[in-house]
Amino acid sequence: MKKILLISIFLITSCGYQPIYLNKNPDNFIFKKITTSGDKTLNRKIVNIASMSEDSDRMFKNELILKSKIEIEETSRNSKGQVSSFRSIITINLTIKNNELIVKNKVFVGDFSYNNRDNKFDLVEYQDEVKNNIINKIIEEIIIYINL
């Protein structure tokens, strides 16, 4: 009997667990102004997936500045001098300002190394897939960073 009572009390009172993506304050992703520079498609994808929006009517909102850069480096060559592997690097500099005062500033970097493909069409498709995977990983990190 005591065990049942103890288990039921334990189940009723939780430990305070909350999902990290639970956004209790939806104002976290509403900004007075969103300024982007660098790769336009990358910035647009970040703003859309993270559900960031712009509302210039409110006076106390923060300003978001996104600077992005994508690099594809040749990391190694074979004995014939042909490229045998690449590395894609995506860098996002996120700055949140409130009245010209920097509230948050962080650089998010994601990279991935992969081998060259014989078919160049397959290589371009694979590079796009790698780029999308890195972007999704960085977006998750951005959401967590803004929520904290």
Q: What is the pLDDT of residues 75-115, one digit of tens each?
A: 999 999 899 999 999 999 999 888 888 888 999 999 999 99
Which tokens in the block code for residue 61?
């909102």
Residue 22 phi/psi, 5-degree rounding, is -70, 115
Residue 20 pLDDT exceeds 60:
no
Residue 55 lies in a domain: yes
Number of helical H runs and strand E runs in the chain? 3, 6
Residue 43 pLDDT exceeds 80:
yes
Q: Please write the tens of the pLDDT for every residue from 118-129.
A: 999 999 999 999
Q: H or E element: which one contains 11?
A: helix 2-12
CA distance 119 to 24: 48
What secondary structure does DSSP assign to 88-124, as a single string?
A: EEEEEEEEEEETTEEEEEEEEEEEEEEE--SSHHHHH
Residue 4 lies in a domain: no
Residue 134 lies in a domain: yes
Number of domains in the chain: 1
Residue 117 lies in a domain: yes
pLDDT given for residue 14 in this prediction:
57
Q: What is the mean pLDDT of the segment spanning 31-60?
A: 83
What is the domain range of residue 50? 26-147
Residue 22 pLDDT exceeds 60:
no
Residues 146 and 29 sit within 8 Å (Cβ to Cβ): yes
Q: What is the mean pLDDT of the segment spanning 37-56?
A: 85
Residue 66 lies in a domain: yes
Residue 93 lies in a domain: yes
Of residues 117 and 100, the one with the higher pLDDT is 117
Q: Please write the tens of the pLDDT for every residue from 49-71.
A: 887 888 777 666 788 899 999 99
Residue 21 lies in a domain: no
Residue 18 lies in a domain: no
CATH of the domain at 111: 3.30.160.150
> What is the reported pTM?
0.76
pLDDT given for residue 98 in this prediction:
85
Residue 24 pLDDT exceeds 60:
no
| Amino acid (1-letter code) at residue 117 | R
